[in-house]
Chain A
Amino acid sequence: SQTIHQWPATLVQPVGSPLSLECTVEGTSNPNLYWYRQAAGRGLQLLFYSVGIGQISSEVPQNLSASRPQDRQFILSSKKLLLSDSGFYLCAWSVGSGTDTQYFGPGTRLTVL
């Protein structure tokens, strides 16, 4: 069966520090991968998606970046965090052309102070 992992589960970082969040998927090959952010009191916003290794699409301008170094690994990074980067970060995966169900990870709660 397929499993999606995210770490860390929670993170408290000072403004201006770097960020690296990791997501890995087990039990499937060539998944579509997604990073979403859920800010307090707001809905989920798609940040990045990837349909293959090295293929990253960015949805919103921001100081975050994403990379997919391996088929089932998706990394969200920042060189310098802003207060507005605080939120709940969710990774998700799907297969095929994307018309199937998306499955979400447990999330990472990021607080930038």
Chain B
Amino acid sequence: KQEVTQIPAALSVPEGENLVLNCSFTDSAIYNLQWFRQDPGKGLTSLLLIQSSQREQTSGRLNASLDKSSGRSTLYIAASQPGDSATYLCAGGLYNQGGKLIFGQGTELSVKP
């Protein structure tokens, strides 16, 4: 069974702190890893996509890494801000299956001013 697990389920940090969100997956058929952000009651916003041939991607204060051999991905957020408060979801993409994504349950992040 294909599974994606995110730890922790919830995280509260003071503003300015650097933080790491974790994602693990069990299926070697997972071809890429996407990180999304979801604000309450809203759709998903794509943050970063890492292909299986890549080890990391960066966008502004965000850095995502991928280690397929260990089945792990991390999302690093530098100098967190209250506006970063949201639920962060990771999803593994399955190759040649129409781009199916297997989602983790998400990490709910709260950044306190």
- Are A49 and B104 touching (Cβ within 8 A)? no
Residue of B nearest to A108 (CB): B43
Chain A residues with a Cβ under 8 A of chain B: 32, 34, 42-46, 49-51, 57, 59, 88, 90, 92, 94, 97-107, 109
* Interface flag for B79 (CB, 8 Å): no
- Are A107 and B103 touching (Cβ within 8 A)? no
Contact partner, A109, options B32, B41, B104, Cβ 8 Å: B41
Alpha-carbon distance A51/B105, docked complex (angstroms): 26
- Are A43 and B105 touching (Cβ within 8 A)? yes
- Chain B at the A interface: mostly helix, strand, loop or mixed? strand
16 CB contacts below 8 A, A to B, read A32-B98, A44-B44, A44-B91, A45-B103, A51-B98, A57-B98, A90-B44, A92-B44, A94-B99, A98-B93, A98-B96, A99-B31, A99-B99, A101-B46, A101-B49, A102-B46
Q: Known contacts being A49-B99, A51-B98, A98-B93, is A42 close to B105, with CB within 8 Å?
A: yes
Chain B residues with a Cβ under 8 A of chain A: 31-32, 34, 36, 41-46, 49, 51, 89, 91, 93-106
